Amino acid sequence: MRRPVAVVLALALASAAPQALAGDPAPARAHVEKTFLIPAEEGYGVGECLSGGPSECGQVVANAWCESQGYASAVNYGVAAQDEYTGAIPVAPIPAPTAARPLRITCQD
């Protein structure tokens, strides 16, 4: 009874050993970025930091948002351009006010 178990165990170890010993590097993870659109009037009071252009406050808020979504950090943030969200292109060429535009945060792994 011991011999068949030992043979199975030896075969399992032998099949796993070449990959472990060869030092094959794990395949590199692809760089992942994702952009989130947040309503400007979301109620959390972070719109002032994110819509005011690059700032320490904006970077901290954007990084915290990305971390809460499972990403490492924020790459970019600010007010979304009109062509970045659905329904933003008006029938008449009237630009949407900046306050009504959603905020954009781009996160990376």
pLDDT digits (tens, 9 = 90+) for 49-89: 888 888 899 999 999 999 999 999 999 999 888 777 776 56
Please report whether residue 3 resides in a domain. Answer: no
> Is position 99 within any domain?
yes
Please choose, from the candidates 16, 95, 34, the residue with its C-alpha nearest in 3D space to the C-alpha of residue 70.
Answer: 34
In a domain, residue 77? The reply is: yes
3-state DSSP helix/strand/coil % of the chain, to nearest 5:
40, 15, 40
Contact call for residues 36 and 64 (beta carbons, < 8 A):
no
The beta-strand segments (E) located in 1-109 are 33-38, 73-79, 103-108
Q: 72 with 108: CB under 8 angstroms?
A: yes
Q: What is the average per-residue pLDDT within 8-14? A: 52
- Establish if 1 belongs to a structural domain: no
Answer whether residue 37 is part of any domain: yes
pTM of whole model > 0.85?
no
Report for 3-7, 71-75, 94-98, 99-103: range of highest mean pLDDT: 71-75
Q: 91 is in which domain, residue-wise?
A: 29-108
Domain for residue 6, yes or no?
no
Any domain includes 34: yes
CA dist., res. 89 & res. 92, Å (int): 8
Residue of 30 and 13 predicted with greater confidence: 30
Domain assignment present for residue 9? The answer is no
Neighbour count for residue 78 (Cβ, 10 Å): 17
| Mean pLDDT over each residue of the chain, to the nearest integer | 75
Query: How far is the C-alpha of 107 from the C-alpha of 109, rounded, in Å?
Result: 7
Domain count for the chain: 1
Task: Give pLDDT, residue 88.
Answer: 57
